[in-house]
Chain A
Amino acid sequence: MSASSDHANSVFATVVQAPEDPILGVTVAYNKDPSPDKLNLGVGAYRTEEGKPLVLNVVRKAEQLLVNDPSRVKEYLPITGLADFNKLSAKLIFGADSLAIQENRVTTVQCLSGTGALRVGAEFLARHYHERTIYIPQPTWGNHPKVFTSAGLSVKTYRYYSPNTRGLDFQGLLEDLGSAPAGAIVLLHACAHNPTGVDPTSDQWEQIRQLMRSKGLLPFFDSAYQGFASGSLDADAASVRMFVADGGECLAAQSYAKNMGLYGERVGALSIVCKTAEVASRVESQLKLVIRPMYSNPPIHGASIVATVLKDRDLYNEWTVELKAMADRIISMRKQLFDALQARGTPGDWSHILKQIGMFTFTGLNANQVAFMTKEYHIYMTSDGRISMAGLSSRTVPNLTEAIHAAVSSVA
């Protein structure tokens, strides 16, 4: 019987092509560019000084341990994921001495990196929480709004970034959170805010905490850069720990994409800190109902690597050293770019490059200037002017400096 050529009409004939994802689409465009000088400052993935992706030594070691262990099998993980991984992840973010953990008030489930943790948390909130609105900072990671609306939450924004100062609009933030309805959910970037790199100070975090607790606002932390921002795992978790220490409840999404370089393995965790152990147990059972019809149980490989590293003292220490080295390289790139712009005499105040923290710099360049830099200098970044410092090297700083200078001088 020959294949029929008269196909039925598709029931999806009217489906229109979706636009490229604004962030991941940058890499797609970059890959298509044949120029030998092209530079990808789009997606936030760490690059070495040579511009290469990096697999951490501890990860290589952990992988070898795993592959050489004949007793390892590929059975389904429980719905909540790898138990060791969950415990260790909770300790990592909340601190080994966390009372909440000691009192069994924390439920932690393995998720598909930060995205997956946010989505599972959002689905849980949409089903079980009385407030259906989440407040997200303006601006925020491009994928945040869709994650929350897909789960059935509605999204509002609170002022965060001040374009004038290229710093935090703290007054605006306090006003907007102050006028949010009691109980509203608030998304907080634990450290190294994406895309701006602007974080509250310790004092400002304390004020935010007091305000939120007084209004019963529910904190939902997104921690994608612990250890990556300052180089210290503990310092980068200080904001989260401040909230947990006051005995209140919160959600926290963790990702190991950047700080352990496990990007494509999709390793993350969602923790919900509850008032009592009994509540935490019921909450966990409901998280399972969210996860099962989404993907049944999480992937084993990446979580096994993380657990192997976190539970071994030597590997853990080695990891902290590699992590600090990545953070330090990024900090040095900030200095180099700033110095180069100063030396070039590029108009404007570029000190925000030094003040902002983490993987990204919110340059302040507008969409036209960004388009100009892409067209004339083959430099790729998101149209909001966000550049990934991790994609820079000493070799490419001069080219970027030229491009910024030209853009700022000739494009309005």
Chain B
Amino acid sequence: MSMLLRNGCAGRILKSGAVRSMSTSWWKHVEPAPKDPILGVTEAFLADPSPDKVNVGVGAYRDDNGKPVVLECVREAERRIAGNLNMEYLPMGGSIKMVEETLKLAYGENSDLIKEKQIAAVQALSGTGACRLFADFQKRFSPDSQIYIPVPTWANHHNIWRDADVPQNTFHYYHPESRGLDFASMMEDIKNAPNGSFFLLHACAHNPTGVDPTEEQWREISHQFKVKGHFAFFDMAYQGFASGDPERDAKSIRIFLEDGHLIGCAQSYAKNMGLYGQRVGCLSVVCEDEKQAVAVKSQLQQLARPMYSNPPVHGALVVSTVLGDPELKKLWLTEVKGMADRIIGMRSALRENLEKLGSPLSWEHITKQIGMFCYSGMTPEQVDRLTNEFHIYLTRNGRISMAGVTTGNVGFLANAIHEVTKSA
């Protein structure tokens, strides 16, 4: 009993006769964490009892009935996989087959870099995991470097590089007045950054703005990067999803590769293969030669080992089954184009509806922007009104997930947006 009375404990005899120590909790000082701004939106949506509620918050694709979609190519792949194979550990670097197919998508089917084995690549936990592995790698092997992040960007980018302990800077990107790209300021920032700076670039379908540089602009950016010796890290989460054509969506990366840049790249199958919850992605780092690639890959594995040992096998199997079978791959390409086309159609519909309502504002940006998101330009206050008065859920930066827009709700959505913005 006496040992319970040490350290400010008191003993309490329970009904069962057992004694419970009553020392205070070690975690009393732990603050409640703020809700994740993006995932918190879906939580709030789910809790809303209104039958008219609309979720245009998180970027997950919905069909025209507002339902989540499992691609046919994926269903078929899973039928083939289920019960057949064992569930042994993957190597630390993940599924070799999946990584091979994934590199082809980003770097091109006939990429010399792939042939020459110059690319260090590992399977990662979707785009988040790929970014985090790279950030940890950057911290360990370029410890004096910082990361330049566009304004705005996906909120979690900041968390990732912060937790990796890499200092952050920002560069101009979005131009609020035109709801387009602030190209001049962006180029200024690239020129003014110290030589050899690390930059995070969205390969296509910038999240959250949907604003991408044109091909010409990408060439200028690439050229300036060469002049300054900057490192380009591409986060490509929407390949195929932006234009409907994966080759076209990888154009920015191909331009940089043509110019001889040794890039880093995070790829995700969350959206373009609808594998969200399976957490499938890839991190690649282009090196000078095969020997260097082997070294870099081994170090990436060293970072993965104390985080999760080796990546999950199921999603990787789905990807390699789909991409490794010409028929399934063709089906996938069709389905990706279908998703991209539906979104492009909804962009037109939303814009038309707003214009028909006689909105005093310009909504041209809805159809100029590309990918899953539309940066509407609405203020946080206007967003709050959308949520409180109309049960429409989106992030407070005014980002609308076009994937959540359907022919069934586009009219309602346009009305609501018009209501809260008409006197702006």
Contact = CB atoms under 8 A, between A and B. Distances in A.
Contact of B86 (A15, A55, A247, A301): A55
Nearest to A119: B307
B83 to A, nearest CB: 5
A72 B70 contact: yes
Interface of B: 3-4, 6-7, 18-33, 36, 39, 43, 58, 60, 68-70, 74, 78-79, 82-83, 86-92, 112, 125-126, 128-129, 132, 141-142, 145, 156, 159-160, 162-163, 196, 226, 229, 231, 257-262, 270, 274-279, 285, 287-288, 292, 294-296, 298-299, 301-302, 305-315
A247 B22 CA distance: 7
Contacts of B86: 52-55
Contact of B312 (A213, A245, A301): A301
23 contacts: A5-B260, A15-B299, A17-B298, A52-B86, A53-B88, A64-B83, A74-B274, A75-B68, A76-B270, A76-B276, A113-B308, A115-B307, A115-B309, A116-B308, A116-B309, A213-B21, A218-B26, A262-B87, A266-B308, A293-B160, A295-B279, A296-B128, A297-B39
B301 A21 contact: yes
Contacts of B308: 112-113, 115-116, 119, 266, 295
A36 interface: no
Interface string A1-39: 101111111111111111001001000100000000000
A281 B90 CA distance: 35
A296 B126 contact: yes
B177 to A, nearest CB: 32
Contacts of B314: 264-265, 299, 301-302
Give the residue among B29, B276, B308 with the most A Cβ atoms within 10 A.
Answer: B308
Given A8-B226, A13-B292, A283-B27, A293 B21 contact: no
B298 A279 contact: no
Interface residues of A, number: 96
Contacts of A214: 3, 6-7
A261 interface: yes
A54 B86 CA distance: 7
Contacts of A115: 305-309
Contacts of A8: 226, 229, 260-262
Given A282-B33, A296-B125, 11 more contacts: A16-B295, A79-B39, A115-B306, A115-B309, A130-B26, A143-B309, A264-B314, A274-B25, A286-B30, A299-B125, A301-B314
A10 B119 CA distance: 12
A275 B83 CA distance: 43
Interface string A250-267: 000000010001111110
Contact of B39 (A66, A78, A128, A302): A78
A311 interface: no
Contact of A295 (B126, B274, B275): B126
A182 B23 CA distance: 14
Given A64-B83, A113-B308, A264 B162 contact: no
A119 B288 contact: no
Contacts of B285: 12
